[in-house]
Structure 1
Amino acid sequence: MLLVKVVTQVKLIPDAAQASAIAATMHTFNSEANWVSEVAFMNGVPREYALRKLAYAQLKERGLGAQVAQHVIKKVRDAYTTLHAGLRAQNLGRPGSKRRRTAQAKPVVFRPQAAQPYDDRCLSWQYDAQAVSIWTTAGRLKNVRFACSADALKMLQQYRKGESDLIERDGVFYLLAVCEVPEAEQYEPDGFIGVDLGIANIATTSTGYQAAGRGLNRYRKRQLALRAKLQKKRTKSAKRRLKERSRREARHVTNTNHIIAKTIVTEAERTSAGISLEELKGIRQRVRLRKPQRVTLHSWAFAQLADFIVYKARRAGVPVVHVDPAYTSRQCCECGHIDKKNRASQALFICLNCGVVAHADRNASHNIARKGDAVWIAGRESRVPATP
């Protein structure tokens, strides 16, 4: 059975003594992680087993439990693995660049509030009482209350697996738990719904749904202006406000993407259709925009929206295919004629061959839907065994 991994967040509601113990524990975890990071850096970042030999005994002497010490070492090694993967992908610049040299010249540093993983030995859940028992440097805390929605609680009870991460945001503690939800059986689609992603309209489908981006773009423009004002002040309070606004904007974007994705998947499930998405890899390199438009393109989470659509579709059993986006905005969905001049404006499509007039995004979504049908048929034919 295939599984879909969903991260469920719950808010801890500790009393004053419990909150103090949890905060001190997180600071201790990350302080020890910084020490292990220095040890790893000085020894050429050895593999996890070798790093345990160098750091495990001393972590135990410093007061950490056996299981917690193992988690601190694994956390450090995972951080270096991520760093090296970013270097290989040139996410930190090309070899010899200043940013890359800076990243390689010093150990990885963990913030005092950085997330800390807990397994079932260090953290136990009491779902009926909506409480957890959690290990801290002050001893094990029992009956630490948590709050979440009824759906989140049900998901935790049925599907929670593996570790949970303890995080802190603005003095509030949260637990992030991974739930492995069984994927629904995929049905045979009766056609495909094409989804065109854009800036003026976040998502336009071939069935008529359109998530207009006007209000969201106004919101993001206002946030951009507020960030610019705060950045000029260069004070501690301004930096704190910047972080708060950044998180608020990220939550707003995530919520918007969830709503759009749910609407599209629900429509596909209701009509027994599949979903056809554009392949977004390399979109920033492919698209050519004027300078004022680049901020909008690079700041919107296109990949997040596509990921939300895919995982919600998998949970509902809705087939999803990814298609090549080439010429979808220039091709007429009626006659198939391709011409750059067909795109009369951002919103208007006028075919120079057959004269059809349509909304540009709606025309593109129909082309994406047709490509989805072709990809699905080609994939199905490739799975049919050849006749002997």
Structure 2
Amino acid sequence: MVKLGRTIKLRLYPDTNQAEQLLAMSQEYQRLANIVSQWIFDHGFQLSWLKINHHLYKIFRQESELNSQMIQSVFRTVSARYKTVREQMEQHPYRYKSEENKWIQVPRDLTWLAKPIQFRRPQTDLVRQSNYSFVDGMQKISMTTLGRRTKLGFTDKGFEKYFTDDWKLGTAKLVHNQGKWFLHIGITKEVSDFDTKDNPQIVGIDRGLRFLATAFDSEGKALFFDGQKILRRRKKFLEIRQQLQSKGTKSAKKKLKRLAQRENRWMTDVNHRLSKTLIALYGPHTLFVLEDLTNVTFNMNDLPKPLRNSHRSWSFFQLESFLMYKAQAIQSAVVKVSPAFTSQRCPKCGLVEKTNRHHDTHEYWCKQCQYRCNDDRLGAMNIQMLGQDWLSGVKQPKIEKLTTAG
């Protein structure tokens, strides 16, 4: 069994008095979180909940109106944030060039932080039943505030199925955004694992910008997901961003921030829709095979100059993560394989030759066996082949460079 995780977002409808209570509670939670963060920073990054609780619990209970359960939540919130930052630093070591002009990587940990992590927005984490619960026949939410409980109306539009489909509700986060209140609730559900013995179909997916994705399946069929509209819209975002940056005014900076948020929401929506389409097309018991694009750079010579930054900034990892969790829900899986030579290998004779790929015409033409193919389709074919190797037991499948007929 595998445990699925989701987040449902409920819109809350507090009256004026309730909104003030929620804001006061969130600000107090934020204040204590910053105190805990400073303590962790000053005491050698001790992230043990027991140690933090031992040193700060009694002090907080004496000076704060937050109840016992919420104070414990503050400790867990801050500790979890530091652990996340630590993981991110471990995944991205410091890199520099030595005197011999070689890249050197130095591992990083929390001691690299120059100042404690700051919680800049009011926030609150609420434990189910202790701090929030559904009452009045699931028509209202009863929620803890400073010193009392209150009932609020809410809407679950778009998330109704999660209340009736064996999902378990967990800790929730109270969010205040542009004058509106939301409750983000983490939910979990156990489903059957992906079974490699269940004769799954294998789909290789080549990601890019000209085509957002090119898929090649076990039946030899290819699907292309056009990215031209995406490129044009990104170009438009870029033009607006450059205009605002050239002004440099306070108003322009605010508009830049809003533009960045809008672009991020749009990118997220594109990746959600693309991953949902792939899941719907191929269905359960499918092995989706992707290239591991960590630290991979792209050839951008065939892109217009204004859009060459798009390859660096497009969220390939986001599409990967969306596809991964959607696949789990239907007993499918995602596996990542080495990207080496996937755009250079001839699927007919096995020759690996860089010059066989012609970027200007988007074609692969093997000079040894004369096999011709669209270059994006070829990439998806080779990725699908590596998926077959993985399914047959090869732990880290990759293409070996052959320069003569195989």
Q: TM-score range by the shorter chain?
A: 0.7 to 0.9
CA shift, 1:85, in A, is: 3.6
Amino acid at match of 1:230: L
Paired residue for 2:374, among 353, 359, 369?
Answer: 359
CA distance in 2 between partners of 1:369 and 1:242 (Å): 41
Trace 1:180-195 onto structure 2 (pairs within 5 A).
Answer: 180-184=188-192, 186=194, 188-195=198-205
Amino acid at match of 1:82: T
Tell me whether 1:37 sits opposite 2:52 in the alignment: no
Whether the 8 Å contact between 1:182 and 1:315 is mirrored in structure 2 is no
SS at match of 1:283: coil
Whether the 8 Å contact between 1:189 and 1:319 is mirrored in structure 2 is no
Instruction: Report the counterpart of residue 321 of structure 1 in structure 2.
Output: 335
Moved more, 159-168 or 121-130: 121-130
CA shift, 1:196, in A, is: 0.6
Deviations 1:191-215 (A, max 9, x none): 4121111121110011322111111
Instruction: Report the counterpart of residue 385 of structure 1 in structure 2.
Output: none
SS at match of 1:177: strand
CA shift, 1:235, in A, is: 4.5
Whether the 8 Å contact between 1:8 and 1:177 is mirrored in structure 2 is yes
Paired residue for 1:116, among 102, 110, 124?
Answer: 124
CA shift, 1:32, in A, is: 2.2
Higher share of residues assigned helix? 1
- Show structure 1 runs of 4+ deviating over 6 A: 92-95, 99-103
Moved more, 115-124 or 86-95: 86-95
SS at match of 1:209: strand
TM-score (norm 1): 0.85
Amino acid at match of 2:24: A
TM-score (norm 2): 0.82
Instruction: Report the counterpart of residue 115 of structure 2 in structure 1.
Output: 106
CA distance in 2 between partners of 1:208 and 1:127 (Å): 52
SS at match of 2:329: helix
Moved more, 162-171 or 121-130: 121-130
CA shift, 1:294, in A, is: 5.2
Whether the 8 Å contact between 1:133 and 1:140 is mirrored in structure 2 is yes
Trace 1:1-388 onto structure 2 (pairs within 5 A).
Answer: 1-46=1-46, 47-60=48-61, 61-90=63-92, 104-113=113-122, 115-120=123-128, 121-126=130-135, 128-137=137-146, 139-149=148-158, 152-157=159-164, 158-184=166-192, 186=194, 188-206=198-216, 207-269=221-283, 273-284=286-297, 287=298, 289=300, 295-345=309-359, 347-378=362-393
Aligned positions, number: 373
Q: Which consecutive unaligned segments of at least 5 residues does structure 1 have?
A: 381-388
SS at match of 1:316: coil
Percent identical residues: 28
CA shift, 1:10, in A, is: 2.1
CA pair 279-352 structure 1, distance change in 2 beyond 3 A? same
CA shift, 1:246, in A, is: 2.2
CA distance in 2 between partners of 1:127 and 1:362 (Å): 56
CA distance in 1 between partners of 2:26 and 2:60 (Å): 15
CA distance in 2 between partners of 1:56 and 1:100 (Å): 27
Instruction: Report the counterpart of residue 383 of structure 1 in structure 2.
Output: none
Moved more, 83-92 or 306-315: 83-92
